[in-house]
Amino acid sequence: MKLFQRLLVAPAALGLLAPMAANAAEVNLDSVVDYSNSAVQVATSAQFSDVVPGDWAYTALQNLSESYGCVDNAYTQSLNNGQALTRYEAAALINACLDGGLMADSQGLSSEASRLADEFGSEMAILKGRVDGLEYKVNELSAGQFSSTTKLSGGAVFTVGAVDGVEAATQGENLHGQYAFGLDLNTSFTGQDDLYVGLETGNHAAPLLMDSATTANTAGALEIHALYYSFPVGDFTVTAGPLIDQEDIVSATLSTYSDAFRLAGQPYTLANVETGPGVGATYSNESGFNASFAFVSDDGEGSTTGILTEEGDDVVTASIGYDGDGFGGGIIYTSADEKGSAAGYDAFGYGFYWQPEGMPSINVSWDTKDPETAGVEDSNSMMISSDFAFGPGSIGAAYSISDDDGTNDLDKYELYYTYEHADGVTIQPGIFVEDQLSGDDHTGVVVETFFKF
């Protein structure tokens, strides 16, 4: 017990003991202890609860809270319940009243409010200093953070597999371990626009080139593969930037196949992705119809080639489609100029999908390529694919047949299983078989692990 508490208790104890001085053995020690504890509680309450019911400040705070509608917090609830407040709690309540209505009142402070401000001025100043210090620290911390409107997501892929039938000179039949890694940053400035930055790296190489492979083998260097800005203009979404993939501005959905293993449904219109400076627009309405148009200059970043020049490689891509309730399809058209060493061509892609409830999806797509080079035959490709739930994951299966430049038909198959091992971790084993123009068919067995964050 502290000294001042002992001083408070001593008179009471002496008064209690005085009538019993003649017979000390009859002293009720329990009564002394109870009285001592109650006295300590009264002293503590008087020390920390400086504003109590009955004080002019307490009544003034009640009037202030009711008149100006201060923030309904724990302090106003204490006033309503007749509970005492500390001086700092009273100062915080006055600050809340100032922010809630007093400062907006052109008539100025009332005499009662002015008296309260004078009485608790030092506590209000201390609280304001502490709040300003906290805000400074928060702002200083936020300065080194991403913008609150920037979203960062990414993923990594571990690929382990081997391909049988590849010539021994390329060491294709050996077991391979490869990786891919990417980061996506999306920033909005108005809530409707999007600045997109895509970074990637990887070491995928033939013959084990899966769909998860990065668009370029960067050999461990993290590179920007996409950089563009999208914003609404009426019913359209316009996209422009110095680094756009041809497929970034395509609205039509030709297939809902997961397409996450090896085969691609559009090997001519979209698979040979062109990248460079570009601009495009997409349109869609509530009825399900959509359309898009994009222009990409594959060599537009170079000063010797430029955009819309004879030396450059410019590509135009347009699409139109319809997405209904469980079904849909579309058409894609791609035209590439014959400039420099690049051969020009026109390509058309068609496709439709059907997703019956509780049944496997059905996807059929065609792709054709008409080269501008004299003497080169057209190329054609057809693909049939399906996804269906099985056990804890889903099965993907696809078959394609292609006739590249008038050569023999080449059949390709793939079958893989995808299941989520944990949140953000997916494992995907599978097998593929591909016909070759010469030599043995290629058969690959692959296991991929996807990490998303």
Burial of 37 per CB tally in 10 Å (0-12, 13-18, 19+): exposed
Give the residue, 326 or 107, on which the prediction is more confident.
326
Report residue 89's pLDDT band, with 50, 70 and 90 as the boundaries. confident
User: What pLDDT sits at residue 31?
Assistant: 46
The owner of tokens 């724990």 is: 74
Report residue 85's pLDDT band, with 50, 70 and 90 as the boundaries. confident
Within 8 A by CB and 6+ apart from 402, the residues are 267, 379, 380, 381, 382, 409, 410, 412
pLDDT of 45 > 70? The answer is no
The owner of tokens 């920007």 is: 224
Two structure tokens written together for 134: 């906290």
Q: How far apart are CA 239 and CA 294, in angstroms?
A: 9
Give the residue, 309 or 101, on which the prediction is more confident.
309
By mean pLDDT, which of 30-34, 332-336, 364-368, 423-427 is the weakest?
30-34
How confident is the model over 285-302, as a mean pLDDT?
Answer: 88
**Phi, psi for residue 439 in degrees, rounded to 5:** 80, -170
**Phi, psi for residue 292 in degrees, rounded to 5:** -150, 155
Helix (H) or strand (E) holding 296: strand 289-297
**What is the per-residue pLDDT across 167-215, written as a single tens digit (0 to 9) for each?**
765 566 788 899 999 999 999 998 899 999 999 999 888 888 888 887 6
How confident is the model over 119-145, as a mean pLDDT?
Answer: 69
Report residue 23's pLDDT band, with 50, 70 and 90 as the boundaries. very low
Rounded percentage of the chain residues whose pLDDT exceeds 90: 40
User: What pLDDT sits at residue 17?
Assistant: 37
Helix (H) or strand (E) holding 129: helix 121-143
By mean pLDDT, which of 134-138, 266-270, 436-440 is the weakest?
134-138
Q: How far apart are CA 450 and CA 202, in angstroms?
A: 14
Within 8 A by CB and 6+ apart from 376, the residues are 343, 405, 406
By mean pLDDT, which of 17-26, 369-378, 425-434 is the weakest?
17-26
Q: What is the mean pLDDT of the chain?
A: 79
Domains of the chain in start order, with CATH, are: 49-143 (no CATH), 151-452 (2.40.160.10)
Report residue 35's pLDDT band, with 50, 70 and 90 as the boundaries. very low
How confident is the model over 115-128, as a mean pLDDT?
Answer: 79
User: What pLDDT sits at residue 26?
Assistant: 43
Rounded percentage of the chain residues whose pLDDT exceeds 70: 74
By mean pLDDT, which of 95-104, 112-121, 256-265 is the weakest?
95-104
How confident is the model over 393-420, as a mean pLDDT?
Answer: 90
User: What pLDDT sits at residue 403?
Assistant: 87
User: What pLDDT sits at residue 351?
Assistant: 96
